[in-house]
Amino acid sequence: METAWLLPDLADETAAGFWAACAEGRLVVQTCGDCGARRMPPRPMCPHCRSTAVVWEESSGRGRIWSFIVAHPPLLPAFAAEAPYNAVIVELEEDPAIRLVGNLVATADGAIGEVDPATITIGEPVEVVFHRIDDVSLPRWTRRAD
């Protein structure tokens, strides 16, 4: 069944490596094949050295909540039914300058509004999980103990 959610374009060559890894349950970060600088979101050229060489570096999938919001209507219809829900920005453990946007959930396939927003704190340790929607594996975040 097709979802009404907004999903990434898997045919986009620049980000294809990211989404292919997600489909395998791995979180990767685009890294310059020449100078080694990491970048997110994926881009065709390194902003530091202008190289187009790309390496997909495996991430630990661990990070901390850098910021978050709680979404309330008005929202797109597919998302209004889920509200209120959180959207978190996570900084990765191996490089806090690399930040990803997602939802904090209790379980990989849980509803995006299942975590009580009042319990979310900046700096909270999280780890990635993947949730399949149509042909996309979306990275999401769950709490971790340490």
Rounded distance, CA 131 to CA 16, Å?
17
Q: Measure Cα distances from 45 to 26, 50, 104 in Å.
A: 23, 6, 30
Residue 43 lies near Zn ion (rule: CB under 5 A): no
Strand ordering across the sheet containing 28-32? 38-39, 28-32, 54-58
Strand partners, 137: 132
* Residue 112 CB-density burial (10 A; 0-12 exposed, 13-18 middle, 19+ buried): buried
Work out how close the CB of 46 gets to Zn ion at its nearest, in angstroms, rounded to a whole number: 3
Count residues contacting Zn ion (CB under 5 A)?
A: 8
Work out how close the CB of 56 gets to Zn ion at its nearest, in angstroms, rounded to a whole number: 14
Strand ranges inside the chain, DSSP E: 28-32, 38-39, 54-58, 62-71, 85-92, 95-102, 125-133, 136-143
Residue 122 lies near Zn ion (rule: CB under 5 A): no
Residues 46-85 that bind Zn ion (CB under 5 A): 46, 48-49, 51
Nearer to Zn ion, 31 or 137 (CB): 31
Nearer to Zn ion, 94 or 114 (CB): 94
Residue 35 lies near Zn ion (rule: CB under 5 A): yes
Work out how close the CB of 90 gets to Zn ion at its nearest, in angstroms, rounded to a whole number: 24
Work out how close the CB of 32 gets to Zn ion at its nearest, in angstroms, rounded to a whole number: 3
Residues at the contact surface with Zn ion, assessed by CB under 5 A: 32, 34-35, 37, 46, 48-49, 51
